[in-house]
Structure 1
Amino acid sequence: MDLESELRKAMAEHTAEASAPASLAARVRHRHRRRVARIRTTVGVAAVAVVAIAAVPSYRSLDAGPVSASRTPTSTGTAAALPPGQDRTPAPGPSRTPRSTDGPGTGSTRQPTVPGTTPSGSGGPIPGGGASKLPAWVTYMPSGLSAAGPCATHRSGQRSTTTCRWQGSSGSVEVRLVRGMGFAGPESLAAFPTVPTPTTVRGRRAIMTDRPDTGRQIAWLDRPGVGVLVVVGGAARAQLLRIAEGVRP
């Protein structure tokens, strides 16, 4: 007898007296039913998930049309809606020759005003209806005065003096605009026959004095290198400070 036969015989003798309990078959059937139920539950849940995932793209595709149609068109959409071949660039308008009254930035080419000259359109009319126009740097003149002639510029060394004169029923006014270097103060602009009275012109230190010819004068340094002397006579004496305040070189 070989080894295999001996093993079979030993196993048969060992299990001959063994018997299965009566509840074994019931327990086997119960476990089988639980396994089948668990498999069915798993398959059902997976099927529901697959259906839900497949439904999302369909919902988005159905919802995209109505929502986009109800939105307000943007600027991009408006541009895309233009007929082919048309752009949004406005057609150039007719060219216009700039007028002398146009302000800065409108194409006007305004020439700068040089002290001592009275170009057409510069300055303003003399208050009170005077026919003459003021230089751009003189903004006030009493009524009843007219320009005695064009402003004149005289040079002496490193200084230049521009003198403008007006005269009429209100008296006379002379304005001197002095440019140069080395001014020690308003006292350097002219000779003062009497003791001057200190005053101010637009916040700048000035000196004022009477003249032997019944006139009155005032002088001040408007800024470094620029001085002003105003001489008045007749009824214009009462408005000396106002005339000086209107000189803005």
Structure 2
Amino acid sequence: MHTGRWWRAAFSVLALVSSVVALSLVFFTDFGRDARPASPPPPSPALIDPTAIAVVSDDFWLTYLPAGLERTGGGDAASGTAGGWARFGTGDRTVEAQVEHGTVAADWETYRKRAVVRSARETTVRGRPAVVGAHPDGGRMIVWLERAGTGAWIRVSEALANELLAIAASVKAPVRD
């Protein structure tokens, strides 16, 4: 009698092991899926933006600017400022960006007091504290602390007010050791 139970137990274990092996092969070999990933459709010509990287300083740049803007001014740390700035525009469409390093941007409270933003509203830029509102001389402005010791602001003309957050979100500022 005991011999029959042993064979049934061995057969059950063998069936379990074969099922696990078979299922593992199905999931790990992508059984039933196309071997090549589907390539995305080409972008619509209206969505292609040929704008190049817009450098503000050697450690701060924009990866998005609205199409048609050209650099019209700027400077960097070599010009004697602790940071850099740049102006881009054509006609009534302008973007100004500035990055500041040092004690002026030691922490968010210190840097926030430095910026004059009317009708300021709290927000974030890529997870960092920020305020957005009207610039005293016109246009829209966003100010944020990129990291302790580095603050930044971007100002756009009213014609580009809807682009302000997209421009700020495109900032790249690598951390230096």
CA distance in 2, matches of 1:142, 1:171: 9
Which of 27, 30, 49 is equivalent to 1:128?
49
Distance 1:236 1:163 in 2: 18
1:149 is matched with which residue?
A: 73
Greater relative contact order, per chain length (Cα 8 Å cut-off, separation 6+): 2
Q: Distance in 1 between matches of 2:53 and 2:128?
A: 27
Q: 1:189–1:228: 8 Å Cα contact kept in structure 2?
A: no
Aligned with 1:140 (options 59, 64, 77): 64
Aligned match for 1:246, one of 165, 170, 176: 170
Shift in Å, 1:190: 2.0
**When the two structures are aligned, how many residues end up with a matched partner?**
118
| CA apart distance, 1:211 | 2.1
Could you list the runs of 4 or more consecutive aligned residues of structure 1 that deviate by over 4 angstroms after TM superposition? none
TM-score, length of structure 1 as denominator length: 0.42
C-alpha change, 1:128 and 1:235, in structure 2 (3 Å) is: farther
In the aligned structure 2, how far is the partner of 1:198 from the partner of 1:139? 24
What is the 5 A alignment of 1:80-99?
Answer: none
Any idea what SS the aligned residue of 1:214 has?
Answer: coil
Rounded Cα–Cα distance in structure 1 between residues aligned with 2:143 and 2:92: 21
- The structure 1 residue matched to 2:129, chosen from 205, 209, 214, is 205
**1:235 alignment partner, SS class:** helix
Matched residue, 2:83: 161
Counterpart check, 1:187 vs 2:109: no
Specify the alignment match of 2:98 in structure 1. 176
Question: TM-score, normalised on structure 2?
Answer: 0.58
After superposition, the C-alpha distances for 1:122-163 in whole angstroms (9 at most, x for unaligned) are xxxxx7345x7522621111112100035344546xxx1311
Among all aligned residue pairs of Structure 1 and Structure 2, give the percentage whose two residues are the same amino acid: 31
User: What letter is aligned with 2:165?
Assistant: L
Separation in 1 of the partners of 2:71 and 2:154?
15
Distance 2:92 2:119 in 1: 26
Structure with greater strand percent? 2
Q: Which one-letter code corresponds to 1:179 in the other structure?
A: H
**Highest Rg: 1 or 2?**
1
Distance 2:153 2:114 in 1: 7
- In structure 2, what residue type is equivalent to 1:168? T
Contact 1:173/1:231, CA 8 A, preserved across alignment: yes
**Distance (whole Å) between structure 2 residues aligned to residue 137 and residue 204 of structure 1:** 17
AA partner of residue 96 (structure 2): E
1:143 alignment partner, SS class? coil
Listed as ranges, the gaps of 5+ residues in structure 1 are: 1-126
